[in-house]
Amino acid sequence: MRILPVLAPLLVFGLVVFVHELGHFLAAKLVGVYAPVFSLGWGRRIWGFRRGETDYRLSIFPLGGYVRMASREDEAMASFEGGTTRGALEDDTTQPKGEPGVPWDPEALAPFGPKPVPSNRWFESKPLWAKVFVLLAGVTMNFILAIGVVMALVMTGGVANPAPLIGSVLPGTPAAAAGLAAGDSVLTIDKAPIGVWKDLVAAVTVRPGVPLQFVVMRAGAPVTLTVTPSATVDTNPTTGAVRSLGRIGAGGARIRLGVGPAFLEAVDGTWETVVATVDVVGGLLRGKVSPKQLGGPLMIAQASVQRAQSGGLEGVLDLLALISVNIAVLNLLPVPVLDGGQVLLATLESARGRPLGDRARGLVMYAGVGVVLLLLITTTFNDVARIGGQLLRHFQG
């Protein structure tokens, strides 16, 4: 599929963000919070349609998305979401002044009509459990997406057989050139015993371009072959680290699983990704992982293209599940503008029996925005430096 590498970044970004925001949106609807906007992208509305009390839209900056909910933070988020054109929820709405592209409706709630938003439809009017439910619905949907994608991959392609058994050989690859065939059982590589498939992967990935002597069992007899792994540039989607890995173009045998075992396998795989992501975040906080290893949107797009080229749709979906889990874990961090920070603030306000003052809450929110902007600037700088270095090496070599 030649078009897949082009569409891969849009698929990964779009689906992960869509599912996250859909979680917030559906939860808000369930607990009665007024949600006038569901948007893919930020900024000014460029296209959409209004159904019921919600305007479903595409906005001018396609990275990310948001759900606009009736909240006292609405004005603070205006510059990020729709700007000054999006219409207010609290101001006098007796005069038609809705958003461009959204027809004024005399029977609608603000900002699409003159009717004020009822007090019981505001986010702040809801009990703590409802607030937490809405705030955590996005990350919950990201986890569900990851589990669903991995489960589908497992059910269609199976799981890896732990035995070092060749299941498939791609044409035109080092494995095919050396004569490896499906059904070969690998006994040794450079005289080192190979007990499980992971041993084979470990032996191959660290020696790109190095001829390796394979001894395989074929039709009951040992056969010796020389395989030279090709060098493949790989970008780690979690840390952004770029490295050269050895690949031979052979896949292990697969074991098909039913619905129940596939679900358990998907849950286990998703949990392993959660643990790995938490380890990276913990390493950053402890100074054991350099901020230079972090990647942002450009790195994810680059990794999406690489996965599409090397692994096809399966590779893209595997990356999608990984990014979905990463987004969920990062959103749980106790940073005020992220979901985890919002849950923490809502819990603190509930415990003290009254909301924080406007000044205190404003300072907290600005601090959170500062942290997120610093992270975005850092990852974007790393992405640009990484891609620039790759281009320089390409033209020099």
Q: Which domains does the chain have, with CATH numbers?
A: 160-255 (2.30.42.10)
pLDDT at 93 over 60: no
pTM: 0.76
Which three-class secondary structure string do you get for the chain? CCCHHHHHHHHHHHHHHHHHHHHHHHHHHHHCCCCCEEEEEEEEEEEEEEECCEEEEEEEEEEEEEEECCCCCCCCCCCCCCHHHHCCCCCCCCCCCCCCCCCCCCCCECCCCCECCCHHHCHHHCCHHHHHHHHHHHHHHHHHHHHHHHHHHHHHHCEECCCCEEEEECCCCHHHHHCCCCCCEEEEECCEECCCHHHHHHHHHCCCCCCEEEEEEECCEEEEEEECCEEEEEECCCCCCEEEEEECCEEECEECCCHHHHHHHHHHHHHHHHHHHHHHHHHHHHCCCCHHHCCCHHHHHHHHHHHHHHHHHHHHHHHHHHHHHHHHHHHCCCCCCCHHHHHHHHHHHHHHCCCCCHHHHHHHHHHHHHHHHHHHHHHHHHHHHHHHHHHHHHHHC
Q: What is the mean pLDDT of residues 281-302?
A: 75
How does the average pLDDT of the chain come out, rounded? 84
pLDDT at 392 over 60: yes
Give the range with max mean pLDDT: 158-167, 170-179, 306-315.
170-179
In tens, the pLDDT along 145-157 reads 999 999 998 888 8
User: Residue 23: its pLDDT value, please?
Assistant: 96
In tens, the pLDDT along 190-208 reads 999 999 999 999 999 999 9
